Amino acid sequence: MPSTPDIQAVRQYLLELQDSITTALRQSDGGAGFRQDSWERPDGGGGRTRVMEGGMVFEQCCINYSHVFGNALPPSASAQRPELAGRRFQAMGVSLVCHPQNPYVPSSHLNVRFFIAEKDGADPVWWFGGGFDLTPYYGFMEDVIHWHRNARAACAPFGDDLYPRFKRWCDDYFFIRHRNEPRGIGGLFFDDFDQGGFEQAFGLVRSVGDHYLTGYIPIVNRRWAKIYGDRERAFQKYRRGRYVEFNLVQDRGTLFGLQSGGRTESILASMPPEVSWRYDYRPEPGTPEAELYEHFLVVRDWIEEPEQGAD
């Protein structure tokens, strides 16, 4: 099994992925473009951050590419692999979050990343991680089924076991422990992945990255023009608060970026631009807001569900 990774090939793919997603989201929005900031990390490496604000469809989108390195893995990375503490490392990835204007369009998240930890006199240890997930504010069964079928298609060429495995991992990871509820309806999540050697693992990561747009853009196109009012907008802002809570309290990617000395503006550009919190809010029974909690913020096998939901 080949174990020597092609770091340059990973880097090239990630840069091309950022470019292709940038182009697709700009075309889907039809309004605002992306601002780009290139940055350098004092301890080694850097990246480029692209942010769209105030678009016709997207209130804010952030697409980050980063490639950083250092003399020791930060605690958020070595906590799962304590035997690697103290090794020098390289980490590179693309991470994006889209927050739409229309409450009927879900927020979405993608991350694909590569780590390599090295030590003189020892073989390098490398792995891939990433996935994508969807955070709706109003539930549409058609959208959820499409999202999960697309996720299954991304994994299918690499083994029938991967989609159910990565779906469970996503359900577990994007669960807001202090709220005892899922962040959204899930998707795929994996980490420490080197199954089948470098070429096989890299192929899976490319497939996941390439399937993000085929999962998200059809949902955006179906929902972005749907009429909404103050009630839907208020609920969207309230639910966005859950996104903030998860990212700041639990997310390993956010913690890694901050602990490794990454660019704070780029790391926190994933946050939604307008958010609200309400004390002990509970939606009225029988409303679309209540339906989100009762029928969508639950762990289930979405692919086998009948295609029905709120219109």
Sign of the torsion formed by the C-alpha atoms of 72, 76, 77 and 80 = positive
What residue type is assigned to position 294 of the chain?
E
Distances (CA, A) of 139 to 93, 108, 142, 272: 30, 14, 9, 19
Q: Is 95 annotated as a binding residue?
A: yes
Give the Cα separation of 209 and 132 in Å (integer): 8
The answer to whether the beta carbons of residues 146 and 214 sit under 8 Å apart is no
Is 67 annotated in a binding site? The answer is no
Write out the two tokens for 223. 């929902």
The single-letter code of the amino acid at 148 is H
User: Is 99 labeled as ligand-binding?
Assistant: yes
Q: Which residue has the tokens 């969807």?
A: 134
Report the relative pairing of strands 35-40 and 45-53 from DSSP bridges: antiparallel
How many other C-beta atoms lie within 10 A of the C-beta of residue 130?
Answer: 24
**Euclidean distance between CA atoms 78 and 53, whole angstroms:** 35
Between CA 237 and CA 113 the distance in angstroms is 29
- The response to whether 261 counts as a known ligand-binding position is yes
Tokens representing 10? 């990973």
Annotated binding residue at 178?
Answer: yes
Tokens of residue 65, six digits: 């590419």
Q: Active-site positions?
A: 109
- Give the separation between CA 75 and CA 68, rounded to whole angstroms: 15
CA angle at residue 271 from 265 to 273, to 5 degrees?
100
| Token output for 240 | 């966005």
Is 112 assigned to a binding site? yes
**295 known member of a binding site:** no
Binding-site residues for substrate sit at 95, 111-113, 261-263
Binding-site residues sit at 95, 99, 109, 111-113, 148, 178, 261-263
